[in-house]
Structure 1
Amino acid sequence: MPVSAAYRPDPKFQALGPEFADPVRAADFPQTILRFRNDRAAATVGLDTLTDAEWIAHFGRFQPLPDNLDPPLAQRYHGHQFRVYNPELGDGRGFIFAQLREAGTDRLLDLGTKGSGQTPWSRSGDGRLTLKGGVREVLATAMLEALGVPSSRSFSLVETGEALVRGDEPSPTRSAVLTRLSHSHVRFGTFQRHAFFERGDRIGELTDHVIANYYPELKGANDRPVAMLQVVVERSARLAARWMAAGFVHGVLNTDNMSLTGESFDYGPYRFLPHSNPNFTAAYFDHAGLYAFGRQPEAVFWNLQQLAGCLSLTAETEPLVEALNGFGPAYRRELVAAMLDRLGVRSRGEEADAALVQSAFRALAEGGERLRWEPFFFDWFTGSEARALAGPRGALYAEPSFEEFRARLADYDPDRPERLADPWFARPEPEELLYDEIEAIWAAIAQADDWSAFHAKLAALEEARAAWGLPAQGVAGT
């Protein structure tokens, strides 16, 4: 058997029955060229021992893994897309391929696909993924993992040899299939579908499934839907806070892109901030700025309200509203924690911490286009003023507009200051993942099939992840 002793299959989703997912088969691709395999992630689920040929058989041809889902399952769900309800959604170009236990934590994880072919929910789509889209998602998840953001992990990228036509990028373009490792693919929209049909019984079944498999500590709760919502509110608040500290703009925060385990996934038109700008948008079609950087917490809370509306079929309104009201305090608490992690300092108490974080955001805003987002945290990591003032942005930090931030940070003790001895911090600039660099990486692939910049970037992001040493968050932290 090609899997290791750490491989522990545990398929669960099929037990929900035919109203929750449809059995499907992957497309038969003309080619299967392995472009990326995440062996560090694979080791956590016992699949790192696969040869490349075996890997392609499972993640290019989608031969079932031992004792796992056969056939794969395409989920049924609805969702609000830019706050317009769409009852015609579902896994249109992906499926849950396998479910398995994580070594060391025993958590149930999913291997899900993107670009694996048409399903009953493809509508007029071809069920495919562009190779560029796959490259962008691999880079996004590597950067988010380095920055301590709860996220799916890109597990595999296989080029599939088809010429795709897309209206929003040069066509024909190359095709790929991506496999991601995530804690869960159950979406807010999964609940919305059954609420749409007023099936409180199925809402109850889905709630029981989520608690049994992802929140077993809630099994004895008196009001299970409310207890589940409370935890999802907290997890979602943490996710939003980590996005904000990372300067990350998801771009498409629809309810079908929000998971019940509080991890981000499905990266389309994402961007990382070049500099502080609350109105920065990632999607060219987000004309109203609904999902702009500064509005992401609002968007997450709105989505949570829609989930609570679904749960009202099985729970009283008042406790659901009370659970929702926990979002604001949880978000503020998580934002402070995320910013302290990024600055590499220890807490000094709620009031002082909040003041420091506010001054940090003001400093970023004062820096404007002269100060890029990521270098700010790199320069001030562990609170070393001497290092920041001696660096390439030292003159900017010496200006009066940074005085408050510098004064507040001076009162803080560094957290694990030994991290600053890592050679990575001796560099003048940190790793970033801005739009122009992603485009340059893709241009080399598209024009000359040159993957060197792509692999070099992933290696650099791995160095950054190890140097930052940020606390584990969700699947990305394992």
Structure 2
Amino acid sequence: MSLLSISMIDRRQMAEYLSGNKLLSGSQPAAMIYAGHQFGYFTSQLGDGRAVLLGQLNQWAFHAKGTGPTQYARGGDGRAVLRSSIREYLASEAMFNLGIETTRALSLVGSVMLPVRREAIETAAIVVRIAPIVAFIRMGTFELFSTRGQYDQVQQLADFVIKNMYGKTLTNKNRYNLLLIDIAQRTGNLVAYWQAYGFTHGVLNTDNMNVIGSTIDYGPFGFVETKLQGYVPNHSDDESRYAFDQQPTIAAWNLAKLRLALNSLIDLPKPIT
């Protein structure tokens, strides 16, 4: 992870950096690779198709969404539109102020000079998200290396998460067991808050849940004002897999997949799948 150098930058210059037209000193943009279970089916390689990590400043990672296609775009145009970017900006700030763990929106830049075709022609936008670096380590990141048999990388990733979550390197024998238990507790707390406030994520694939227990990837989300069984904000979810009332069950299912991905490191009973 590259370390950014930010000194005295005026407002116009900052707009250039946050729109992706210029790079901050020390920035080496990188798209992250991961795998994931999507709607219950495993996909062996996914990744940030329209987003890049710009770098890290102190404990904060800067993640720009809508910057154009990466090597993981899978044929997409790599763009985000202003409409959905405004939704993410507002929702992430609302979640933060409700006390729910989430990435936050640092900036939002629109470009009328760059039309994007969806169901209609829309305005392109880039939203820069900030969070601790481990917020961008997904359950599916561990699945990627585990399913490839790259167990050394699984351990390196786990040690990276431990160091960045707890601020130190742990050497105790059962540290990976404790990590999994902590991730499960954090995930449980997060979903409990979602259920309490009526937030429905909409796409709870294993590549859309991170290891720090915070909300990421605001896509077809929605809020319900009362407990509505079967509420589904994602029109692509034909089987209502990620309905509001199913979120606790799906979170537990995803954690079971993470447990399997960590199988080479931990000594706990295997989950029933």
Give the TM-score normalised by the residue count of structure 2.
0.92
Give SS of 2:105's match. strand
Change over 3 Å in CA distance of 1:220–1:88 after alignment to 2: closer
Give SS of 2:190's match. helix
Question: Which structure has more strand as a fraction of its residues?
Answer: 2
Is the CA contact (8 Å cut-off) linking 2:200 and 2:222 kept in structure 1?
yes
Percentage of identical aligned residues: 31
The aligned residue for residue 96 of structure 1 is: 53
Q: In the TM superposition, what is the alpha-carbon distance from 1:62 to its structure 2 partner?
A: 5.1
The aligned residue for residue 121 of structure 1 is: 72
Cα separation, 1, equivalents of 2:116 and 2:44: 27
Cα separation, 2, equivalents of 1:178 and 1:291: 25
Which of the numbers 173, 176, 182 marks the counterpart of 1:231? 182
Q: In the TM superposition, what is the alpha-carbon distance from 1:209 to its structure 2 partner?
A: 0.7
The aligned residue for residue 297 of structure 1 is: 248
Cα separation, 2, equivalents of 1:174 and 1:146: 28
Q: Which amino acid aligns with 1:122?
A: A
What are the Cα deviations for residues 225-254 of structure 1, in whole angstroms up to 9, with x where unaligned? Answer: 211111111111111011111110010111
Cα separation, 2, equivalents of 1:221 and 1:236: 23
1:178 and 2:151 are equivalent in the alignment: no
The aligned residue for residue 38 of structure 2 is: 81
Change over 3 Å in CA distance of 1:245–1:47 after alignment to 2: farther
Cα separation, 1, equivalents of 2:5 and 2:87: 26
Which of the numbers 162, 184, 194 marks the counterpart of 2:114? 162
Q: In the TM superposition, what is the alpha-carbon distance from 1:216 to its structure 2 partner?
A: 3.4
Cα separation, 2, equivalents of 1:51 and 1:279: 49
Q: Which amino acid aligns with 2:51?
A: G
The aligned residue for residue 54 of structure 1 is: 13
Q: In the TM superposition, what is the alpha-carbon distance from 1:199 to its structure 2 partner?
A: 1.0
Aligned positions of 1:207-218 closer than 5 A: 207-216=158-167
The aligned residue for residue 214 of structure 2 is: 263
Aligned positions of 1:31-430 closer than 5 A: 50-61=9-20, 63-66=22-25, 68=26, 70-101=27-58, 108-160=59-111, 161-166=113-118, 170-183=119-132, 184-216=135-167, 219-318=170-269
Q: In the TM superposition, what is the alpha-carbon distance from 1:317 to its structure 2 partner?
A: 4.0
Q: Which amino acid aligns with 1:163?
A: P
Is the CA contact (8 Å cut-off) linking 1:92 and 1:120 kept in structure 2?
yes
Is the CA contact (8 Å cut-off) linking 1:218 and 1:227 kept in structure 2?
no
Cα separation, 2, equivalents of 1:251 and 1:48: 39
Q: Which amino acid aligns with 2:157?
A: L
What are the Cα deviations for residues 411-450 of structure 1, in whole angstroms up to 9, with x where unaligned? Answer: xxxxxxxxxxxxxxxxxxxxxxxxxxxxxxxxxxxxxxxx
The aligned residue for residue 458 of structure 1 is: none
Q: Which amino acid aligns with 1:110?
A: A
Runs of 4+ in 1 over 6 A off after TM superposition: 45-49
Q: In the TM superposition, what is the alpha-carbon distance from 1:88 to its structure 2 partner?
A: 3.1
Give the TM-score normalised by the residue count of structure 1.
0.53
Give SS of 1:88's match. strand
Is the CA contact (8 Å cut-off) linking 2:177 and 2:268 kept in structure 1?
no
Give SS of 1:267's match. coil
Give SS of 1:74's match. coil
Is the CA contact (8 Å cut-off) linking 2:159 and 2:169 kept in structure 1?
no
Q: Which amino acid aligns with 2:264?
A: L
- Structure 1: runs of 5+ lacking an equivalent: 1-9, 13-44, 102-107, 325-478
Change over 3 Å in CA distance of 1:47–1:133 after alignment to 2: farther
Count of equivalent residues: 269
Instruction: Report which of the two structures shows the higher radius of gyration computed on alpha carbons.
Output: 1
Give SS of 2:230's match. coil
The aligned residue for residue 431 of structure 1 is: none
Q: Which amino acid aligns with 1:250?
A: H
Q: In the TM superposition, what is the alpha-carbon distance from 1:191 to its structure 2 partner?
A: 0.6
